[in-house]
Amino acid sequence: MVEAVRRQVGSGFLAVIVSSLFFATSGTFAKSLIVTGWSPLAVVTVRVVGAALVLLPWTLWALRGRWSAVRGHLPLVAAYGFFGIAAAQLGYFGAVQRLDVGVALLIEYLGIVLVVLVIWARTRRTPHPFTLVGVLLAVAGLVLVLDLTGAVAPDLVGVLWGLFAAMGMAGHYLLAARPTPVPAVAFAGLGLFAGGILLGLAGLIGLVPFEIGGSTVTLGGAEVPAWVAFAELVIIAAAAAYLIAIIGARLLGSTMASFVGLSEVLFAVLIAWFLLGEAPGWMQIIGGVLILGGTVAVRLGELREVEEHPELAADDVLADPAATAVHTP
């Protein structure tokens, strides 16, 4: 039993690290398209719909004989499509249009603090002191990252998009780890379809601009066709990333998965630095460290709370490995 749990934790840890690396590429490749005239909604819609189509064969295969069980969980899938996919991606891409990739992602990662606040509201139990300290550190870090004390004011619209993405990230971690009979690959595929429908409707009714840009992008100082950036966003940064992330969240639980997922920030900063030349300033580095340190403190506080009150872990336990199995043809 102990050995099985260790294997499950090890597999979950590896899955979250890999998914974090894949997710980290999205900001850089999306921004390369956005600066050529593609609107954030156009980029994210192509990414989501394309990823849903890539996963369609596996989604249908995984759902064979399970449709009756899945129907009762469609509201969960729809909620994941709105928060975990549509809101998170559109908010993040809207933020990178106006902010550096690293700054946009750090704002999005405040979603982990929102996870704590949601659990706090649900349980009505005052968070552990570590958690409260972590929230204060994260807020202080945000002030430094945005350079609120400097002469140049941060782009407010970009910040608001980042906070919208943070709400989506919170939804991702809270919903992806919920127990459900829907296999991981099908949950990812159906969630992407739901998110794609919502994004398409937003474009059709004119809620957010849908604009087509240039046919080439610049990455690492070289010009490449725009379809290369889209292919990376669809296959690596969406289809593979979401599938592996859901597997990892179900194996580790939302708390530990979001903790390990912090590695995405480091990956994203390095990738943007290498391919876009967005080197972070010292103020942003210090602020980023405070945000990440605050997030770590939040997680430590949560773990202490669970140790003292085991009943709080009822919705965040290690999943049954069978529930996370990916069925392939």
Structure confidence by residue, pLDDT tens digits, 82-119? 988 899 989 999 999 888 887 888 888 788 778 777 77
SS (H, E, C) the chain: CHHHHHHHHHHHHHHHHHHHHHHHHHHHHHHHHHCCCCCHHHHHHHHHHHHHHHHHHHHHHHCCCCHHHHHCCHHHHHHHHHHHHHHHHHHHHHHHCCCCHHHHHHHHCCHHHHHHHHHHHHHCCCCCHHHHHHHHHHHHHHHHHCCCCCCCCCCHHHHHHHHHHHHHHHHHHHHHCCCCCCCHHHHHHHHHHHHHHHHHHHHHCCCCCCCCCCCEEEECCEEEEHHHHHHHHHHHHHHHHHHHHHHHHHHHCHHHHHHHCCHHHHHHHHHHHHHHCCCCCHHHHHHHHHHHHHHHHHHHHHHHHHHHCHHHHHHCCCCCHHHHCCCCC
Domains of the chain by residue range: 2-324
> Which pLDDT does position 147 carry in this prediction?
66
What pLDDT, on the 0 to 100 scale, is given for residue 309?
62
What the block records as the tokens of 56 is 């369609």
pLDDT score at 203: 87
**Could you give the CA distance from residue 69 to residue 30 in angstroms, rounded to a whole number?**
36
Distance from C-alpha of 329 to C-alpha of 319, rounded to nearest angstrom:
24
- Cβ–Cβ under 8 Å, residues 176 and 183: no
Burial class (CB in 10 A: 0-12, 13-18, 19+), 283: middle
| Mutual angle of helices 111-123 and 156-176, in 10-degree steps | 50
Report the C-alpha gap between 56 and 192 in whole angstroms.
10
Is residue 144 within 8 Å of 290, Cβ to Cβ? yes
d(CA 193, CA 232): 18
Angle at which helices 263-276 and 101-108 cross, to 10°: 160
> Which residues in the chain land under pLDDT 50?
314-329
Copy the structure tokens of residue 147: 């350079």
In this prediction, residue 6 carries a pLDDT of 64
pLDDT, residue 36, reads: 93
- Provide the pLDDT for residue 175: 81
